[in-house]
Amino acid sequence: LFSPGTVLSLMAIGNGTTVKEFILLGFTNHPELESLLLLVFLAFYLMMLLGNLGMITLIWTNPGLHTPMYFLLRQLAFLDVCFSTTVLPQLLVTLVSGRAVVSYGQCATQFFMFTFFGSTDCYLLALMAYDRYVAVCQPLLYVTIMTPKRRLKLVTGAYLGGLANAILRTSCTFSLSFCGDNQIDFIFCDLPPLLELSCGDTFLQELLILLFACFVILASLVMILVSYLFIIRAILQIQSAGGRAKTFSTCASHMTAVGLFFGTLAFMYVRNRSGKSLEEDKVVSVFYTVVIPMLNPLIYSLRNKEVKEALKKTFSRNGWNLFRKTGN
């Protein structure tokens, strides 16, 4: 009946929090750069939308891509759109106006949605590694194991895991007291700048948040690493060099995406906070909320033969239809 922001606003009253709204200062303190950054981030966002929505449409409209691997890839593209949209439109508004005022509830809701989609992304990348393990190590049982019913259960579990982490992380963060400065020197309502604004003892909340982050990241990474250890062992047992290269190429895109995403998350949240700067955090946050979602469709399409073939067929078919209409 209540949104996360409404619930947390009520919690804030009980906590004695006096801050009713936050001011997002955006990406840069140099006004002369705002117009250029607006164009750059707008271009990034449009390319992200075009790439991921195009990937979803391509997989949806090509029967040859209706397999478990591409079902998961379609979910990843959907999550990337949601993940980036949670942050980037707000950043664009901030660049236009120089700053953006958000209510306590809006800030909490953005934090909740960002955590939800980010956590679900981690779990989904782990599921994609498991899917590749079954395909490479148990190819004869692949269709039997990765049935539509089972993969739907796995994806539902990823969303529920992301939801649980979002509830816990948001509750911990917004149980803090904000009674002083309300200016967030960041591009959205994220953990590091909110901790800087807190006027109480944050040790317990920081410890719990760190444990949640470590659980999500480490649980996903363990599943990914174990899956790829078995995959590598299976690849090394393949006799022909061509067979090894072909099998490895089916996993290379996923390994690239995993390295980029988890590397930036670990750099942002798991490393020691001493000596960190918000300017550095801004650049890193843009990378994993904007750049990586924009690059994922390219990573999976450029290194994937089936996707490239589907693209060729789609463009060929649409190009021929357009040619015939023009000719008539």
**Percentage with pLDDT > 90 across the chain:** 32
Over residues 281-315, the pLDDT tens digits come to 788 888 888 899 999 988 887 666 777 777 777 76
For residue 323, being part of any structural domain is answered with no
Q: Which is higher by pLDDT, 89 or 17?
A: 89
For residue 299, being part of any structural domain is answered with yes
For residue 327, being part of any structural domain is answered with no
Over residues 48-78, the pLDDT tens digits come to 999 999 999 989 988 888 889 899 999 999 9
For residue 81, being part of any structural domain is answered with yes
Of 124, 130, 126, 146, nearest in space to 72 by CA:
124
| pLDDT number for residue 144 | 92
How is the beta sheet containing 183-184 ordered, strand by strand? 100-103, 21-24, 183-184
Query: Under a CB-based contact definition with an 8 Å cutoff, are residues 107 and 189 in contact?
Result: yes
For residue 113, being part of any structural domain is answered with yes
Residues, the chain: 328
Tally of domains in the chain? 1
Quickly state the pLDDT bin for 276 (edges 50, 70, 90): low
CATH, residue 257: 1.20.1070.10
The answer to whether the pTM exceeds 0.95 is no
DSSP string for 59-94: HHH-GGG-SHHHHHHHHHHHHHHHHHHHHHHHHHHH
| pLDDT number for residue 200 | 73
Query: Under a CB-based contact definition with an 8 Å cutoff, are residues 91 and 25 in contact?
Result: no
For residue 194, being part of any structural domain is answered with yes
Tokens matching residue 115: 């955590």
Residue range of the domain that includes 20:
4-318
For residue 325, being part of any structural domain is answered with no
Quickly state the pLDDT bin for 322 (edges 50, 70, 90): very low
| pLDDT number for residue 127 | 95
| pLDDT number for residue 9 | 47
For residue 130, being part of any structural domain is answered with yes
